[in-house]
Amino acid sequence: MIKVLLVDDHDLVRTGIKRILEGTSDITVLGEADSGEEAVRFVRREPPDVVLMDVRMPGMGGLEATRKIRLIDERIQVIALTMLQEQPFPARLHEAGALGYLTKGCDANELLNAIRTVHQGRPYLDREVAQAIVLADLNGRNKGPFDGLSNREMQVMLMITQGIGNQEIADTLCLSPKTISTYRHRLFEKLDVHNDVELTHLAIRHGLSGDPTEQ
């Protein structure tokens, strides 16, 4: 039996996925979490076989949660489940330790196939994501502005675009507020923006952040 942890900040999404998984004979829902922080705490208590991880959540978010979970137990496989289809997220999540990547537009059969595949230790990439990556390579598309960021810079950037302040980011990532301020200024320089608002608009244009009014 494959034990799955569902991680998403929307109860409706978790409920829908849970109903799909409950219709199988070889997969069971071990538990649910509505944040990256809660997911990490759950994994420490009761390790699942597979984590279905939403990428964009308040607080730590799926990228950092994936990294922490894999550090806790590398036998746990993570599937990123998100609306984000373009780079740099598939590559970033792979670097963080995720073995699968699905968009929320996938059908039930693909979801089940992905869980069974990564449980066997094999990678799984959503067809739409794979196609987008291949086409981008074939077309010689220029890299996006976020491709030059480190994983930590990417994590800080995502939290800034959620409107999270320096102190809370520092507490979540176990860093000092001064270090977060350094990251913030470094992001502004690398991305050629001057404040948090410009940074958020840039992230929204490239599909890496949602409109704060929709949260």
Which of 26-30, 36-40, 53-57, 77-81 is the least confident region? 53-57
Higher pLDDT, 129 or 118: 118
103-117 pLDDT, tens digit per residue, is 888 899 999 999 999
For domain 151-214, give the fold: Arc Repressor Mutant, subunit A (1.10.10)
Alpha-carbon Rg for the chain, nearest whole angstrom, is 17
Going from N- to C-terminal start, the domains of the chain cover: 2-138, 151-214
pLDDT for 215 equals 39
- What percent of the chain lies above the pLDDT cut of 70? 85
Asked if 172 contacts 159 with a C-beta cutoff of 8 angstroms, the reply is yes
Does the pLDDT of residue 128 top 80, yes or no?
no
Q: What is the rounded average pLDDT of the residues 22-48?
A: 95
pLDDT at 134 over 70: no
Q: What is the band of 214 on the pLDDT scale with cuts at 50, 70, 90?
A: very low
Average predicted confidence (pLDDT) for the chain = 85
Q: Are 154 and 169 in contact (CB under 8 A)?
A: no
Looking at the domain 2-138, which fold is it? Rossmann fold (3.40.50)
Structure tokens at 107: 């059908």
pLDDT of 176 above 80:
yes
Comparing 21-25, 122-126, 136-140, the range with the smallest average pLDDT is: 136-140
Q: Residue 118: which residues within 8 A CB-CB, separation 6 or more? A: 50, 77, 78, 79, 99, 100, 124
Number of residues that this document lists for the chain: 215
pTM of the full predicted structure? 0.71
